[in-house]
Chains A and B, each alone.
Chain A
Amino acid sequence: MVNENLVKDVVKEPYKYGFVTDIETEKIEKGLNEDIIKLISQKKEEPQFLLDFRLKAFKKWQKMKEPDWAALGYKKIDYQDIIYYSAPKQKEKISSLDEVDPKLLETFDKLGIPLTEQKKLTNVAVDAVFDSVSIATTFREELAEHGVIFCSISEAVKNHADLIEKYLGTVVPASDNYFAALNSAVFSDGSFVYIPKGVTCPMDLSSYFRINSGDSGQFERTLIIAEELSSVSYLEGCTAPMFDTNTLHAAVVELIALDDASIKYSTVQNWYAGDEEGIGGIFNFVTKRGKCLGKRSKISWSQVETGSAITWKYPSCLLLGEESVGEFYSVALTNNLQQADTGTKMIHIGPKTKSTIVSKGISAGKSKNSYRGLVKMGRKATGSRNYSQCDSMLIGDQASANTFPYIKSQQPNSEIEHEASTCRISEDQLFYLQSRGIEFEEAVSMMVSGFCRDVFNQLPMEFAAEADKLLALKLEGSVG
């Protein structure tokens, strides 16, 4: 008989990224109105089209209602009690990393994100975002040699306004949903990636989001454009300090893949999840969507969701181009009082499009973990295929696992397959491993790792190691 308390102990792990960096910041006053939006735009010295974009989005947001359909329960968010812009004070212009506040570098160092030159050994370019602004982007010159643009979105607005104007809001329009509208109105920073025609990005690109202040929300916006025959792998990581208040994070990610292009977007989300009583933690409302515009284009989402008090996130693919491919691989681990409502949308519009969904949910403690996904075959999606698999694992009798797949088909010459199962850690397997001399803790860890293997296999090397470590950490505990 599995000792349930033992399993519970195993999944307990203190949050090690919960420190606060004591740094002087520049914040604007709380609240949200047109003046605040104008102020943000002014601070970022934005062109008129972007201010118009923001104000239009704000008008739409004011008319919208916060969605309540997700299987989530959280206290009402007071949107006037949030600071919409917070930036660490620094010199006017930074020409090199040496001028970045050492405290910031130290912070990212502590988080395991090397920004300083001597540590840039791993072949990953990083854009580090601290509260509302981007601090530094590494390897820019090397990337520029290949024609790859990798910078913060504020810089892109200044230097590549044409691309921003052409693509911003084309995948996730401002009126898409409540949180996307909010983000469109107040987004502060984020990353911008442009891969020119025929270029395979020479290294993985990565952005790292850090929330530092407790009363400001984070609203970043990421835009990735992959031109014909190009390919890129992009990684995203996030952490936040421990506060007993809830912080709002409402991001928008837009991906565009043209003919034969491929984008791989991987996330390890480890925002602070709140304590055992459910106090504090990040409210994570994210809209991520990719558009496979070109023929044979491919967008692949892989995510490891372990943090946040509330997760509301459905990375989606719009499969427009003929023979385009969408993929979604996800591991969501919830513990204590965390609630996650996550999944994907695969909208097949073009002919011969393919999509694969693999979702693994692990719920422990009193948490709630829901998969919610939509697969839709449009009338023109002849010869399209979808395969979905959603497995849930329950640890303890207080956790809940839900599956809500929406499957819609209007095209007879297409195939959709969906399967889902729910189980708990198999006692037989546990007994077998223990009888072979493997410690209880390690056995549970091995089984969880095996359960998630389909997804971990899809993560880039650097992230796979981090994800495995993260789950192992969460599973590491007081046994033995």
Chain B
Amino acid sequence: MEIIEKIKTNKSYNNLTEIQKICLHKLQSSPLPNPKSELWRLSNKSKLSTFLDYSVNEKDSKFDIPYPKNSQSIIRLIIGENCQIKLNEKNYSIHQLSEDELQKYIKEQISFFKQNENWSDLLNLSLSCKNNILGLKINGSKIPPIEIFSHASINSLKAKTLVIFLEKNCDVELLQVNLGKENSSLSQSTFFCLKENSSLNHGVVSYGENRSNLLNSLNVIQQKNSAYNLGSLHFKFNYARFEISIKQAEGNAKTNIKGMQITKKDEQISTYTKIEFNGPNGFLDQINKSLADDKSHAIFEGSIIVPKIAQRTDASQLSRNLLLSNLAQIDTKPQLEIIADDVKCKHGATISQLNEEELFYMRTRGVTLTEASKLQLSSYFQEIISFIPISKQKWDLLDKLLNDN
């Protein structure tokens, strides 16, 4: 519980906000994962400890956005940079949530937190100060694309929180970029609330530099007839953990997830997803891809929970993994927990290396081995990247990934 002491000594306890106090208190009763519980989640506790090695620092260092703004219409926000936004256009409006609204919502969310499950959110909320919490309420249609950046600072631990309400019938495209810095830790917690008939195309791109750590938690609540599409990409982190929790509050909603993690050197990146169907006619299509090279370790754990009320749920989950080195490791655990009987649920998992027959075919056609591997990898990446709402002209992620290889 060093981290709790750290937070307490860093600021005097009385200066903390009410939410920070509640979270600290909760953290004490539901502690951080221990080596054994991490083992069950297939990951390694020592890596998590490196995340907590840095001290909490509220001041942001200078931040360079990785690519230029595509067009003037894009709404770009950087968490922590005192961004004020109030847009009232003909078709849509974007407002910042008032202090009270934010407090009320976060408190409500905390009350739903389960013991031992939401420690990363509790940690985030107990660390993130007022400036690092961004709350938005979005209403209307024809909304220009939104980009939200979170970034770490060298030699410190930062926590940033994002809360977004999507009002009824609202349709949004949102790209979230989390950037790690050298020797840094970033805790990012995101809360989405999708009202009826709303739709969100959400992209998450997270990458770091040398020795960066990331704890990324995403909580989504979907009301009836809402659609949530997530394309995510995590790479270049010493330690990264992406925890996704999606709740279809009344069923009758659609969720599509396409995620990918790429690990090299001695990195460890894990994705944990938990999708709960609390009503009938829910739909889920999920694919998670991992690629592990060198001495790295990639982990995926996905659980689909279908209680009795969730009749006629149609859920599928696929974990596809590429293991490229003798010293790398991939662990995957797709889980189904089903009580309803009239459901269609399936999952699948594969772990292999690049397809040798395909490589051979390309080589017989005069393509070099390096080129052929690149081609295969690009098709492997492309499926996920094409699902992330970004403009290709300005930021070619595929190119970035392939050339990094």
Contacts and interface: CB of A to CB of B under 8 A. Distances in A.
B42 A420 contact: no
Contact of B341 (A69, A379, A396): A396
A410 B42 CA distance: 13
Contacts of B325: 412
A407 B326 contact: no
Contacts of B21: none
Contact of B336 (A402, A406, A410, A414): A402
Contacts, number: 116
A400 B328 CA distance: 36
Interface stretch (A89-97, A421-429, A437-445): A421-429
Contact of B349 (A69, A402, A404, A405): A405
Interface string A376-400: 0101000000000000101111111
B347 interface: yes
A92 B54 CA distance: 74
Interface string B339-370: 11111111111111100000000000000000
A399 B326 contact: no
B347 A420 contact: yes
A305 to B, nearest CB: 19
Nearest to B349: A418
B308 A398 contact: yes
B170 interface: no
B346 A416 contact: no
A418 B350 contact: yes
Contacts of A397: 308, 311, 339-342
Contact of A420 (B323, B324, B348): B348
A404 B321 CA distance: 18
Contact of A408 (B40, B330, B334, B343): B330
A409 B330 contact: yes
Interface size class of B (residues with CB under 8 A): 35 or more
B75 interface: no
A52 interface: no
A266 to B, nearest CB: 27
A409 B351 CA distance: 7
Given A69-B40, A402-B338, A409-B321, A419 B353 contact: no
A356 interface: no
A300 interface: no
Nearest to A4: B341
A409 B329 contact: yes
Given A394-B341, A418-B350, A411 B311 contact: no
B331 A402 contact: no
A201 B350 CA distance: 38
Contact of A399 (B328, B332, B339, B345): B339
Nearest to A385: B352
A407 B336 contact: no
Nearest to B40: A69
B333 interface: yes
B50 interface: no
Contacts of B343: 394, 422-424
B326 A379 contact: yes
Interface in B31-87: 40, 42
B341 A399 contact: yes
A402 B328 CA distance: 29
A423 B337 CA distance: 13
Contacts of B308: 397-398
B288 to A, nearest CB: 12
A391 B380 CA distance: 28
Contacts of B323: 409-412
Nearest to B300: A407
B62 to A, nearest CB: 41
25 contacts: A379-B326, A394-B343, A397-B311, A397-B342, A402-B335, A405-B334, A406-B333, A407-B319, A407-B331, A407-B332, A407-B351, A408-B331, A408-B332, A410-B326, A410-B327, A411-B326, A415-B352, A416-B352, A417-B349, A418-B348, A418-B349, A420-B347, A422-B344, A422-B346, A423-B344
Interface of A: 69, 377, 379, 392, 394-424
Given A417-B349, A418-B334, 9 more contacts: A69-B40, A394-B338, A395-B341, A397-B308, A400-B339, A405-B349, A414-B351, A415-B352, A422-B344
